[in-house]
A and B are shown apart, each in its own frame.
Chain A
Amino acid sequence: GAGVSQSPRYKVAKRGQDVALRCDPISGHVSLFWYQQALGQGPEFLTYFQNEAQLDKSGLPSDRFFAERPEGSVSTLKIQRTQQEDSAVYLCASSLKTGYTEAFFGQGTRLTVV
């Protein structure tokens, strides 16, 4: 596609529900990042993939958060048993080759846990 695509754009979940957020990176991009952005804050790193390998998941806030990229393209961020503090915008970014090329961001998924 022309850019990084994230779906859904908005998600309202009841506390305790599981959610799955999808990221379609730019075709051919090797690197994929997930970020969490609270209102008025900069994005906070969650996890990083190089192709299908999850090389860094140090930013995932708890074991309720899980990310995968099984075929090295589309990625899914799953949050189990959502809590109110999970409410945020979840951003996905991809880059062609880590370290040398720009990272491009999707529009984000705004998650509201009620």
Chain B
Amino acid sequence: KQEVTQIPAALSVPEGENLVLNCSFTDSAIYNLQWFRQDPGKGLTSLLLIQSSQREQTSGRLNASLDKSSGRSTLYIAASQPGDSATYLCAVLYNNNDMRFGAGTRLTVKP
């Protein structure tokens, strides 16, 4: 079964901290992995897309890495801000065109 797991389920940090969110997947036959942000009551906003042949992608204070062989991805957020508070979702697009999500990590950054 193609499962995606995110750890931790929730995280609370003070403003300014660097933090790491984890995503693991059970099947390494993937096209790509995408990190999303979801604010309460809103849709999903794409943050970073990593192709299966890539090791990492960076956008501003965000850096996502991918280790396909071990079935892991991490999202690193530098110098966190209260505006970063949201749920972060990892989605894996498998080679059968099935895109599966983790349950998300709910991040709270305290001022």
Residues of A within 8 A of B (CB): 31, 33, 35, 41-45, 48, 50, 55-56, 58, 91, 93, 98-108
In angstroms, how far is the closest chain B Cβ from the Cβ of A59?
Answer: 8
- A42-B89, A42-B104, A43-B89 are contacts. A103–B46 as well, Cβ < 8 Å? yes
Whether B97 contacts A42 by the Cβ 8 Å rule is: no
CA distance A108 to B36 in the complex (A): 15
CA distance A103 to B24 in the complex (A): 20
CA distance A50 to B104 in the complex (A): 27
Chain A residues whose C-beta falls within 8 Å of the C-beta of B97 in the assembled complex: 31, 48, 50, 55-56, 98-99
CA distance A83 to B109 in the complex (A): 38
CA distance A91 to B91 in the complex (A): 14
Within 8 A of A (CB), among B34-57: 34, 36, 42-46, 49, 51
CA distance A43 to B103 in the complex (A): 7
List the A residue with the shortest CB-CB distance to B89: A42
Chain B residues whose C-beta falls within 8 Å of the C-beta of A108 in the assembled complex: 42-43
Known: A99-B32, A101-B49. 20 other contacts (CB 8 A): A33-B99, A35-B101, A43-B101, A44-B101, A56-B96, A56-B97, A56-B98, A91-B44, A93-B44, A99-B97, A102-B49, A103-B34, A103-B46, A103-B99, A104-B46, A105-B36, A105-B44, A105-B45, A105-B46, A107-B43
List the B residue with the shortest CB-CB distance to A31: B97
- A103-B46, A103-B91, A107-B43 are contacts. A45–B99 as well, Cβ < 8 Å? yes
Whether A91 contacts B93 by the Cβ 8 Å rule is: no
Whether B43 contacts A100 by the Cβ 8 Å rule is: no
Picked from B31, B43, B99, B102, the residue with its CB within 8 Å of the CB of A106 is B43
In angstroms, how far is the closest chain A Cβ from the Cβ of B67?
Answer: 19
